[in-house]
A and B are shown apart, each in its own frame.
Chain A
Amino acid sequence: MSTTRLYCSFFIDKVFCGLEVDKVQEVLRPQPITRVPLAPPIVRGLINLRGQIVTAIDLRQRLGMSPRTEHRESMNIVIRTEEGIVSLLVDDIGDVIPVDDAAFENVPDTLRGAHRELINGVCKLNDRLLLVLNTEQVMRIL
């Protein structure tokens, strides 16, 4: 008897990623961002979430990807973490996808590099793979 989990999927530089839905508070259209001079580059800035100030994290930066070239603003995935709410900036939002636990696999050993620890595992979907982000690790070096 296997269970099904829901993942909120999104794209960063055409890479298909996902987060467990219960970590996600909400998904927002591009928001005005106030930059924070001298903050680490992964901190894109601060956004006003209905009166609450939320740090916006540049996931591309965090994953070591090149900055976005096309002229479009990033979407916000607002997640709950131990240190409060943060917003992850992603290129595009995908669907909420139910994934059977059986389809979940740990990170393949062949995946190397500095960002290996940022991925919890991989979900095998019918047509593609979904990388499940480890939000604790994403937030760690901040």
Chain B
Amino acid sequence: MTGMDDALKEFLIESHENLDQLDRDLVALEQDPSCRDSLANIFRTIHTIKGTCGFFRFQQLGALTHAGENLLSQLRDGKRSLDEKTTSVLLSLVDAVRRLLGTIEATGQEGTEDFSRLTTRISAISKGEAWIEELEEEAEAAETVSIVADGTIRVEVGLLDRLMNLVGELVLARNQVIQHTAIQKDTTLLGAVQRLNLITTELQEGVMKTRMQPIATVWNKFPRLVRDLGVACGRSVHLTMDGRETELDKSIIEAIKDPLTHLIRNSIDHGLETPEERRKLGKPPEGRLTLRAFHEGGQVNIEVSDDGAGIDPARIRRKAIERGLIGRDEAVAMSDRDVLQLIFLPGFSTAASVTNVSGRGVGMDVVKTNIERISGNVEVVSRVGQGATVKLKIPLTLAIIPALIITCDGDHFAIPQVNLLELVRIEAEQISQSIEDVRGAHVHRLRGSLLPLVYLREVLGLGPVTTQDAVHIVILQAGDRPFGLVVDTVNDTEEIVVKPVGKQVKSISLYAGATILGDGKVSLILDVRGIAQTIGMGVDNREHATREAPNATKGPTCQTVVLVGAGGDRRFALPLSLVARLEEVAVRDLEETATGQVTIYRGDVLPLVHLTDILGLPRTESGNNAALQVVVCSNGDQVVGIVVDRIIDIVETPLELKPPSRPMPGVRGTTIIQGRVTEVLDPVRLSEAALSFVDEEAAP
């Protein structure tokens, strides 16, 4: 029993329920042989059992139900009317099926009981052959009590929803009781409150569990879908599904059904190549489509990946220009990573031809919207020629979420913990060193990386920031680029229930809703994604090797750049996406190796390249400066330090590029930043150039 397959268990439960109904239907049918509904029900039940038998290879049961189905189809088609003999043989069929199911449930096998006589008898009747009634009493089977069926009850989802709402209210009421009793000294009361607290938590977990369903409930439909699509698109597809047992809230299961179907369609129609193409490419002719689901950090991850052609950024660029989604200059200025996320724009489709499967230009944007509606997010990872993976991150449940409560200008706000990375407190005396002001844009150096800071007071248009006190930074993530939200105080975590708010508030993208806190007051829930978008932080320009698409979009024409000086008085803009850290390396820490200058950086050897060398400019001697200004750039695992004369600023700049006066490797064009002509460096070429420089030097 314990090792019983979930699918088998489900089959048994369903069949038992159906059989009970079958008894009633048969009897009703005998009383009113013209009742087509009953007949249709019976037929359907037997047919379903027969169908599933084939799947589980239950031969006896299959043969039995097959014979029964034949007889029933004659009844249904009006070729035969139901007489007493037929009814009784059908009833004995039901009994036999029930016995077989009982045996299967107990042992997992069909058992040794022989039902071939009954099968023959049913067939004989359906063929109109006379059957000599032997009326032998069939082996008196002990009434097998169905353990599985008796252990479950079908419950209406509406009821579960109401229960969940009530539990949500209870959680809020509990929060209030706890807050009010915190100052009491009555130990009996405190004990009772403690119990209330625990019971509420358990109840909450219990009710949440009742709503959980394995993702297999959605996935079970996919093998068929994949097969049909494969045939329709002329692809040979092998579907693998990992983590079928991963559980999700029913409402979320519903919500991801369509997006997943769409992603599978996309993979088969756009991603996988035809068997001939695959053979030519040296891939196995059968394309692989993999669905994975797993829990991670209180979220469910679902991945749809294929080993097809991947998403070609060049093709996306072209299509996006064709469709007028972006301008030509913009397309050139965008990194591949940004380009990948264009597929989430409405009206984008790269299928060369419109098929009835996909290519109508409604697609990824709908997937994205649907997933974001349930507070999830979507990422695309792609390697040209090797395939693409779409990753969905979805909360376990929407109803009750843990949240961090913070204060800003005297009001409480809730921040969903899903978005929370960490909390940083900077003491008053350290503020000046820890928070740097780069022309109005504040950044914090967090373990060497630059973390952009946002003041919640500013975002919400509240009073000015008071900086005398310690600064509390809530580090949040929306998409895959973290940012720091500066708040007045960090209070506590609380379980909150997202409550509906009127449209006047709903329309403000900064709020995800409202809730009622322990003190009984209404508190707004901040929408981290909304905040990130408002401040233009949605896009991550960081050029990972994996090139994951971020979730939020913004005008792709703006880019954050690091301004550096090199080659005399020339200014260069380096995309921040490329920059891992800004460092100073003391000249005495430099070491010469066969590969050129290196330094020891965080226990690793960091090769250094002068920006002037990459650009083919004469190297400007830094004179007797004791330290080199180094921009540490990373491209995947490879890290290189680009030596510049000085680091000037970090600015956000619209990229209206003029082509360089004379072509120069690594320079994309010039623009005017802070009233100065600035050469904008091409992140991809630059990193390639820098790395190849190191490699070249490495090769003697």
Contact = CB atoms under 8 A, between A and B. Distances in A.
Interface stretch (A3-11, A12-20, A28-36, A111-119): A28-36
A36 B510 CA distance: 10
Given A43-B505, A142-B504, A36 B524 contact: yes
A38 B502 contact: no
Nearest to B173: A51
B508 A34 contact: no
B503 A34 contact: no
B523 A34 contact: yes
A62 to B, nearest CB: 12
A40 interface: yes
B516 interface: yes
B183 to A, nearest CB: 19
A76 interface: no
A57 to B, nearest CB: 8
B411 A39 contact: no
A48 B497 CA distance: 13
Nearest to B412: A34
A53 B521 contact: no
Contacts of B172: 51
A66 interface: no
A45 B514 CA distance: 11
Interface in B218-252: none
A108 interface: no
Contacts of B505: 36, 39, 43, 46, 55
A95 interface: no
Contacts of B499: 52-53
Nearest to B462: A37
A51 B516 contact: yes
Nearest to B503: A83
B501 A142 contact: no
Given A36-B511, A37-B461, A48 B501 contact: no
Contacts of A35: 411
Interface string A79-95: 00001101000000000
Contacts of B462: 37
A47 interface: yes
A49 to B, nearest CB: 10
B504 to A, nearest CB: 5
Contacts of B461: 37-38
Contact of A86 (B502, B522, B523): B502
B502 A55 contact: yes
Interface in B474-504: 499-504
A46 B411 contact: no
Contact of A46 (B169, B503, B520, B522): B522
A39 B169 CA distance: 26
A48 B176 CA distance: 13
B502 A34 contact: no
B460 interface: yes
Interface in B416-464: 460-462
Contacts of A142: 502-504
Interface in B498-536: 499-505, 508, 510-511, 514-516, 520-524
Contact of B501 (A38, A46, A51): A46
Contacts of B516: 48, 51, 53
A53 B502 CA distance: 8
Interface residues on B, range: 20 to 34
Contact of B504 (A32, A37, A39): A39
Contacts of A36: 505, 508, 511, 524
Contacts of B511: 36
Contact of B521 (A38, A48, A51): A48
A46 B413 CA distance: 13
Candidate in B172, B501, B515, B522 with the most chain A CB atoms within 10 angstroms: B522
Given A34-B411, A37-B460, A46-B514, A55 B522 contact: no
Contacts of A47: 522
Contacts of A32: 520-521
Contact of A38 (B169, B460, B523): B460
A55 B501 contact: yes
A38 B461 CA distance: 7
B565 to A, nearest CB: 40
A55 B501 CA distance: 7
B277 to A, nearest CB: 53
A119 B673 CA distance: 55
Nearest to A46: B522
A33 to B, nearest CB: 8
A43 B508 CA distance: 12
Contact of A39 (B508, B515, B520, B523): B508
A40 B169 contact: no
Candidate in A36, A43, A51 with the most chain B CB atoms within 10 angstroms: A36
B501 A53 contact: yes
Given A38-B510, A47-B522, A55 B504 contact: yes
A30 B514 CA distance: 20
Contacts of B500: 53, 84
Nearest to B457: A37
B532 to A, nearest CB: 16
Contacts of A46: 501, 505, 514, 522, 524
A86 B503 CA distance: 11
A51 B174 CA distance: 13
B572 to A, nearest CB: 38
Contacts of A38: 460-461, 508, 510
A37 B510 CA distance: 10
Candidate in A37, A38, A40, A142 with the most chain B CB atoms within 10 angstroms: A37
Nearest to B523: A34
Candidate in B462, B500, B515, B524 with the most chain A CB atoms within 10 angstroms: B524
A40 B522 contact: no
A34 B524 contact: yes
A32 B520 CA distance: 9
A71 to B, nearest CB: 19
A43 B522 contact: no
Contacts of B508: 36, 38-39
A40 B411 CA distance: 18
B209 to A, nearest CB: 24
**Cβ-closest 8 pairs across A and B:** A37-B460, A55-B502, A34-B522, A46-B522, A142-B504, A53-B499, A43-B504, A53-B514
29 contacts: A34-B514, A34-B523, A34-B524, A35-B411, A36-B508, A36-B511, A38-B460, A38-B461, A39-B504, A39-B505, A40-B504, A46-B501, A46-B514, A46-B522, A48-B516, A48-B521, A51-B169, A51-B172, A52-B499, A53-B514, A53-B515, A55-B501, A83-B503, A84-B500, A84-B502, A86-B502, A142-B502, A142-B503, A142-B504
Given A83-B502, A84-B500, A84-B502, 13 more contacts: A34-B521, A35-B411, A39-B508, A43-B504, A45-B522, A46-B514, A47-B522, A48-B520, A51-B172, A51-B516, A55-B502, A83-B503, A86-B502
Interface of A: 32, 34-40, 43, 45-48, 51-55, 83-84, 86, 142
Interface of B: 169, 172, 411, 460-462, 499-505, 508, 510-511, 514-516, 520-524
